[in-house]
Chains A and B, each alone.
Chain A
Amino acid sequence: MKRRAFVTGKAIICALGDTLREIVDAARHKRIRLSQIPFTLASLPYTKPYYLIQRKEGDAPDNRSDAYFYDILFSTVSRALLDAGVNNEEIEDMHVFFGSTSMDVPIFEGNHHKTSASVSGMFLQSSNGYGKIAGAIVERFGIGGNCYSFATACTSSANALLYAAAMIEERHIERALVVGYDLYNNLGFYGCEALKSLAAEEYRPFDRMRDGLILGEACGAVVLEGRRRNADDFMYLGGANICDTYSVTSHDEEGSAVAETMNRALRKAGLRPEDIDAVKAHATGTENNDRTECAAMKVTFGCSVPPVTCVKPFIGHTVGACGVNELILFTESIKEGFVPSTPGFREADKDLHVTPLMENMEAGKGIFMLNYFGFGGNCTTLILSNKDAPG
């Protein structure tokens, strides 16, 4: 019998809060918390919205302590380990799969505003490469296994999960800690503004009036193991990753590569399109992403596109970390009996032919598709289920 990978533990810190209960509750009642951030360094006379973690009143990127980055990271990981109920021996046995877009840039930026050293020189001295954060995790928690840090832009932590699951299925490893983490950084915020991809006020993916994305910061961690610990643990059924070579920043609007990713994931999971009960769309709210993704869903699902939800309006686009963060938000809501609706969505775009959920949808056992796309043409689809394991 084929071995499966199960999500046995999870934790997240995001703009909605620190605990799964408050986050799912906020999703159920469409409560969102949006902050405004100025472009002070570039002297621009306006602000843009951002989904900021606010652990205490007045928490803002420019008044965070040096330790803040690792506080968030270690707190999330330790609660995920606790949630899974793994013992010290099992923690020692883990392997770490890390996904992020900004990697250690937020640490550098946090330190930099306290000094006057040359930026690039100081950055190159302080950075020890992309593997540094995963290295800090294994050191802090006494994890003995290997580290894999994925740098594939917005699909980074989705790819981290894809490989962690595949390694468990192929019996290369017993258990994995998968972490997606992107904290606020000027590089990403200013960079997206330079690309004119930031929305002005409200996050409205798939809406006729959508005008871009709103970034967010969050840390999500899941424990994957080769056996179910709780009856409602989600099981990984399959996934796929391919490269859409159309353009470095956008995808082919016909949606062929994105559809191919979904189809390959379905084939890997041994499923047909009609087996999917709901789709968590990537839905960045940019013109190109939403057009491409909806076209692709029409290619894959034909006239019977399953119920679709876009969860970014809850926590923002958490870039490389969105793979794990959105998986947690989506699957934990289902455990509580609902697929969350898409806040901010009001008016269908007739060119898209897809209308996301406007009200929460009752959900029980099912099979769910989660889609993620990123710069560099990266496309990733994951399929998970909370049904009983086959066999």
Chain B
Amino acid sequence: MKGSLDARLKMELKKLIVDECDITANPEEIGDEDLLFGSESRLGLDSIDALQISIAIQNKYNIIITDSKETRRVMKSINTFADFLQPE
């Protein structure tokens, strides 16, 4: 199943982001299409948050995200992130 269709995986990612980035929002409040990074995003995550999430992903799913441009593309939203981790 594609990651963006896997509700369990998406909730897991939301919880991971909330925990790792030490944000006060509830995981349920993060929309699947919400922008995660940048000034237009409600969460307003930045490049260090992205690195923090990358290491957590590496430890949990054994998947290495190599460069920062790829990180931004992959972590645009919960849906893109889930599809990256679980392409099908």
Q: Which residues of chain A have a CB within 8 Å of any CB of chain B? A: 194-196, 248-249
Docked pose: A56 CA to B76 CA in angstroms: 50
B6-33, CB < 8 A from A: none
Interface of A is mostly: loop
A269–B74 alpha-carbon span in the complex (Å):
50
B55 CB-CB contact with A under 8 Å: yes
Find chain A residues with CB under 8 A from B48 CB.
195, 248-249
Is B63 part of the contact surface with A, judged by Cβ < 8 Å?
no
**Total residues of chain B contacting the partner, CB 8 A:** 5
Interface residue? B67 (CB, 8 A): yes
- Is A194 in contact with B68, judged by CB distance below 8 angstroms? no
Assess the B67–A196 pair: CB atoms within 8 A.
yes
In the complex, how many residue pairs between chain A and chain B have their CB atoms under 8 Å apart? 9
Contact string against A for B residues 50-69, beta-carbon threshold 8 Å, 1 for contact and 0 otherwise: 01000100000000000110
Residues of B near any A CB (own CB < 8 A): 48, 51, 55, 67-68
Verify A194–B55 contact, CB threshold 8 A: yes
Does A196 lie within 8 Å of B68, measured CB to CB? yes
A195 — which chain B residues lie within 8 A by C-beta?
A: 48, 51
* Complex Cα–Cα for A194 and B51 (A): 7
What is the minimal beta-carbon distance from B67 to any residue of chain A, in angstroms?
Answer: 7
Q: In the assembled complex, how far is the CB of residue A197 from the closest CB belonging to chain B, in whole angstroms? A: 10
Determine the chain B residues whose CB is within 8 A of the CB of A196 once the complex forms: 51, 67-68
Question: B1: shortest Cβ distance to chain A, in Å?
Answer: 30
User: How many whole Å from A193's CB to the nearest CB in chain B?
Assistant: 10
Give Cα A249–Cα B51 distance, bound, in whole angstroms. 12
- The residue of chain B having its C-beta at the shortest distance from the C-beta of A287 within the complex is B68
B71's closest neighbor in chain A, by CB?
A196
A248: which B residues are within 8 A, CB to CB? 48
Listed by A's residue number, 7 A-B pairs whose Cβ atoms lie within 8 Å are A194-B55, A195-B48, A195-B51, A196-B51, A196-B68, A248-B48, A249-B48
The 9 closest A-B pairs by CB, nearest first: A194-B55, A195-B51, A249-B48, A196-B68, A196-B51, A194-B51, A196-B67, A195-B48, A248-B48
Closest to A42 in B: B58
A248 to B55, CA, bound (A): 19
